[in-house]
């Protein structure tokens, strides 16, 4: 499809900026609504896309339009000045004489962090000077010289564009959790059996998405309903960039369709919630064994004679916070304990992140909400065969394909990530503008 081909042609990762115009969506049979302009560097401060109100950028901005903004130019000048000041103080012997070892170390760290950005800015300034000189040769009377100058100019323009993309990528702080694995939780919300059936479909969608990327998908909990739906389920997902690619799935998902149990053909609206919790490493989160209460019990539900007749299920309570994690999927009590600990660590780490970022974002609360229909981040309308993400105003068609966890879900998540990065940059520039000079 036109949209997918366009996406594949665009660069990804640290140095890519994605500017999507309305025409891309008008030409695609699957994408029908306008979205915003994004760029895609990796970022390292915990951020999520807030729910409740649409987040739309007033104007689609290209790389060149972003660099034309006065706020961006002022910010780059400010960073260059800070970098020069730190270098001056490091090269000065005054701080060492005063014994300010900590201050000196802090300045060196700052210089180290800013060096890639400053080098890119300096390279950009050099290329801008080069293209100015090259454009002067375009006025030469010698046709051969003018032709060479034109080729040189085209090369400079491409290098300038690439350097600007790189600078934009370096401006967005990286997010430590992006390197993490994750624990996925799905819970049926409003809508009874229909909500549980949809929860099972969404859980299967994420399992397929994980398989598509070659990630491991280890089920921790799986509480089924009478009709084959899911009341609640959780899974540990491990693999490169797994959290980074799935973190925007957290929130209330709404489904509108005629349920299998509906005899009169009426449309029902149901909800389910998704929580995506980064899985910490041993280093990033330490749990004192004395703070844990570990309980064992017999597993409930289907599972065979061994599972239901031995105390294999494990329930772990973190006493200081009251956080609980359970697992009864394995026949071995030891394996269930290991999985329950993994889920507990993810929940505690998520709480830690939430506390650190509560002034701007409230990660788990934003994702879970109250499970009400009005809090949805995304709507799956089967009658109209459409999926709408309300955070970026994007609509795609073909619900069945979307629920396969393949291209459409991949594209939706990529756009959410691009939007979040641009939003972060705009916020950074806005804060810089408000600071007293």
Domains of the chain (ranges, CATH numbers): 283-353 (3.30.160.20)
Q: Tell me what the mean pLDDT of segment 131-138 comes to.
A: 83
- Sign of the four-CA dihedral 391, 396, 402, 403: positive
As a whole number of angstroms, the distance between CA 154 and CA 147 comes to 11
Say what percent of the chain tops pLDDT 70: 74
pLDDT at residue 152 is higher than 70: yes
Indicate whether 216 pLDDT > 70. Answer: yes
pLDDT exceeds 70 at position 88:
yes
Helix (H, G, I), strand (E, B) or coil at 32: coil
Of residues 370 and 346, the one with the higher pLDDT is 346
Residues in the chain: 437
pTM above threshold 0.75: no
Is the pLDDT confidence value at 331 over 90? Answer: no
Confidence of residue 436 (pLDDT cuts 50, 70, 90): low
DSSP 8-state class, residue 143: H
Cross-strand bridge partners of residue 325: 316
Q: pLDDT tens, 52-62?
A: 344 444 444 67
Q: Tell me the H-state helices in 27-142.
A: 63-67, 70-91, 94-98, 101-137
Strand intervals (E) in 282-437: 292-297, 313-318, 323-327, 376-381, 386-389, 394-397
Exposed/middle/buried for residue 226 (C-beta within 10 Å: 0-12, 13-18, 19+) = exposed
Q: Check residues 112 and 303 and name the one with the higher pLDDT.
A: 112
Separation CA 288–CA 285 (nearest Å): 10
Measure the CA–CA gap between 116 and 123, rounded to whole angstroms. 11
- Pair of tokens at residue 355: 């506390």
Closest CA to 274 of 322, 207, 203, 352: 203
Contact 248, 279 (CB under 8 A): no
Mean pLDDT of the chain: 77
Pairing assessment for the beta strands 376-381 and 251-257 based on DSSP bridges: parallel
pLDDT tens, position by position, 228-275: 899 999 999 999 989 999 999 999 999 999 987 777 778 999 999 999
């Amino acid at each position: 499809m036109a949209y997918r081909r366009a996406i594949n042609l665009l660069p990804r990762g640290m140095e890519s900026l994605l500017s999507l115009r309305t025409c891309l969506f008008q030409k695609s049979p699957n994408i029908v609504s306008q979205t915003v302009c994004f760029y895609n560097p990796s970022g390292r401060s915990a951020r999520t896309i807030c729910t409740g109100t649409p987040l739309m950028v007033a104007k689609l901005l290209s790389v060149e339009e972003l660099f034309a903004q006065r706020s961006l130019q002022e910010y780059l000048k400010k960073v260059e000045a800070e970098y020069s000041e730190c270098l001056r103080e490091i090269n000065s012997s005054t701080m060492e004489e005063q014994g300010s070892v900590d201050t000196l170390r802090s300045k060196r760290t700052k210089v180290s962090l800013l060096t890639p950005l400053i080098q890119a800015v300096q390279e950009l300034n050099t290329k801008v000077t080069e293209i100015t000189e090259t454009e002067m040769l375009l006025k030469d009377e010698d046709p051969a010289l003018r032709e060479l100058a034109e080729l040189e100019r085209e090369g400079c323009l491409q290098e300038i564009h690439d350097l600007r993309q790189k600078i934009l990528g370096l401006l967005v702080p990286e997010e430590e959790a992006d390197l993490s694995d994750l624990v996925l939780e799905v819970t049926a919300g409003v809508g009874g059996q229909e909500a549980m059936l949809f929860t099972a479909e969404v859980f299967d969608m994420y399992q397929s998405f994980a398989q598509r990327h070659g990630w491991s998908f280890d089920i921790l909990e799986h509480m089924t309903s009478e009709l084959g739906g899911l009341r609640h389920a959780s899974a540990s997902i491990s693999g490169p960039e797994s959290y980074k690619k799935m973190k925007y799935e957290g929130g209330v998902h709404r489904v509108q369709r005629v349920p299998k149990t509906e005899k009169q053909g009426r449309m029902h609206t149901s909800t389910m919630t998704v929580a995506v919790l980064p899985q910490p490493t041993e280093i990033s989160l330490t749990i004192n064994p004395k703070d844990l209460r570990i309980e064992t019990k017999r597993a409930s539900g289907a599972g065979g004679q061994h599972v239901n007749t031995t105390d294999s299920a494990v329930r772990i309570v973190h006493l200081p916070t009251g956080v609980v994690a359970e697992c009864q999927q394995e026949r071995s009590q030891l394996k269930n304990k290991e999985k329950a600990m993994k889920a507990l660590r993810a929940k505690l780490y998520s709480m830690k992140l939430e506390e650190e970022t509560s002034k701007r974002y409230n990660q788990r609360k934003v994702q879970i909400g109250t499970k009400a229909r009005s809090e949805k981040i995304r709507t799956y309308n089967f009658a109209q065969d459409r999926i709408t993400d309300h955070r970026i105003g994007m609509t795609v068609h073909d619900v069945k394909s979307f629920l396969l966890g393949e291209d459409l879900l991949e594209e939706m998540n990529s756009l959410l990530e691009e939007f979040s990065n641009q939003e972060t940059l705009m916020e950074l520039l806005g804060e810089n503008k408000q600071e007293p000079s």
